[in-house]
Amino acid sequence: RPELEQQLRQVLRGGNLDRQPDDLNMDVDDETRLLAYSLTPVSHPQGPILGAVMVLHDVTEQRAFERVRSEFVLRASHELRTPVTGMHMAFGLLRERLKFPPESREHDLLETIGEEMQRLTQLINDLLNFSRYQSGMQKLDLAPCAIDELLERAQQRFAEPAAHKQIELITELEPPLPRIQADVTQLDRVLDNLLHNAIRLSLIHI
Over residues 113-144, the pLDDT tens digits come to 888 888 888 888 878 777 777 666 667 788 88
Residue 7: which residues within 8 A CB-CB, separation 6 or more?
Answer: 17, 21, 39
150 pLDDT more than 50: yes
pLDDT tens, position by position, 67-79: 888 788 878 888 8
* pLDDT at residue 98 greater than cutoff 50: yes
pLDDT at 136: 63
Phi-psi region of 47 (alpha: psi -120 to 50; beta: other; left: phi over 0): left
Confidence of residue 185 (pLDDT cuts 50, 70, 90): confident
Q: Is the pLDDT of residue 205 over 50?
A: no
**pTM assigned to the model:** 0.51
Asked if 192 contacts 157 with a C-beta cutoff of 8 angstroms, the reply is yes
